[in-house]
């Protein structure tokens, strides 16, 4: 299939292979935003797209997930997509692979915020990032409605999550475990804040535990809502939001069966945590 390059000079070509055929997608860029998209046959699609050419060109891969990994089992699923354990066919290590399907070009940059944030972080209490890439899953690139791309994020595979451990404890409290785990979580979020990032979704579901020599090491993960810390009137975009969430996590460690509202009411009634 032939394609015609747009007349503009500031264009970047992306080549996608699908079904044994090669397709070309032309992106006309302006000020780090895609201003024009043309598909094979010269079809034009206008709009402001928050997807940078550098981002796509550095992350698009002709090596498919299926060729590189042996998928093992689903670890979780949500509106964002799914997370799987998968063994790399070459290094034989097992990783967590997050798969996010995007149907709009303008969402690519937004989704890749998570990968970009993880790539900046290297700390024993943060889930380790390895790689990310884009694969096409369109049957026909001559139809842009919808665009179907899958973004893959390859991460460290942890033993379990804090939420699952607390559920297995069935309400039993382990003070020494709680202190060690919470100390590690604080170290992790302190490091994230030093990097001028706000997690915005800190909870026991998103705190993972890596078992090393019979001890659990907490690791903060799931940076899907991460934002750069900025002076703003939106509390959700400030580190104070993460600090509040730390308090909720601490509550879950010591009072897993009580909601935060119930706990505050009991403290107000009793006047002392020791009576609860």
Beta strands at 33-39 and 81-88: parallel, antiparallel or unpaired:
unpaired
- Between helix 239-254 and helix 260-270 the angle, nearest 10°, is 70
User: What distance lies between CA 274 and its chain's CA centroid?
Assistant: 39
Decide: 238 and 248 in contact? Cβ < 8 Å.
Answer: no
Distance, CA of 228 to CA of 214 (rounded, Å):
36
Q: Cα 142–144–145 angle (5° rounding)?
A: 130
Q: Which residues are catalytic?
A: 201
Number of Cβ within 10 Å of residue 87's Cβ equals: 15
Edge-to-edge strands of the sheet including 43-49? 11-18, 21-30, 33-39, 43-49
- Between helix 239-254 and helix 175-194 the angle, nearest 10°, is 170
Q: Which residues of 249-263 are buried (b: 16+ CB within 10 A; e: fewer)?
A: beebbebbebeeeee
């Amino acid at each position: 299939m032939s394609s015609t390059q747009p007349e503009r000079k500031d264009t970047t070509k992306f080549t996608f292979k699908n079904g044994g055929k090669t397709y070309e997608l032309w992106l006309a860029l302006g000020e780090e935003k895609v201003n024009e998209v043309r598909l094979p046959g010269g079809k034009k699609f206008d709009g402001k797209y928050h997807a940078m050419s550098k981002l796509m060109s550095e992350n698009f891969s002709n090596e498919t997930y299926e060729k590189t990994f042996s998928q093992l089992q689903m670890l979780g699923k949500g509106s964002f997509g799914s997370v799987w354990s998968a063994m790399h066919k070459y290094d034989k290590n097992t990783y967590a692979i997050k798969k996010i399907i995007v149907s709009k070009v303008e969402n690519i940059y937004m989704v890749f915020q998570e990968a970009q944030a993880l790539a900046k972080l290297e700390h024993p209490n943060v889930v380790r990032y390895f790689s990310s890439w884009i694969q096409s899953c369109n049957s026909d690139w001559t139809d842009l409605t919808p665009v179907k791309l899958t973004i893959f994020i390859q991460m460290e595979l942890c033993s379990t999550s804090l939420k699952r451990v607390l559920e297995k404890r069935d309400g039993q409290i382990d003070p020494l475990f709680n202190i060690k785990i919470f100390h590690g979580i604080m170290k992790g979020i302190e490091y994230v804040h030093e990097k001028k990032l706000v997690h915005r979704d800190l909870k026991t579901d998103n705190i993972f535990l890596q078992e090393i020599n019979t001890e659990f090491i907490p690791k903060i993960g799931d940076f899907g809502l991460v934002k750069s810390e900025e002076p703003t009137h939106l509390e959700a975009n400030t580190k104070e939001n993460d600090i509040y969430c730390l308090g909720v996590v601490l509550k879950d460690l010591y009072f897993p069966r009580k909601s935060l509202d119930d706990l505050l009411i009991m403290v107000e009634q009793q006047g002392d945590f020791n009576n609860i």
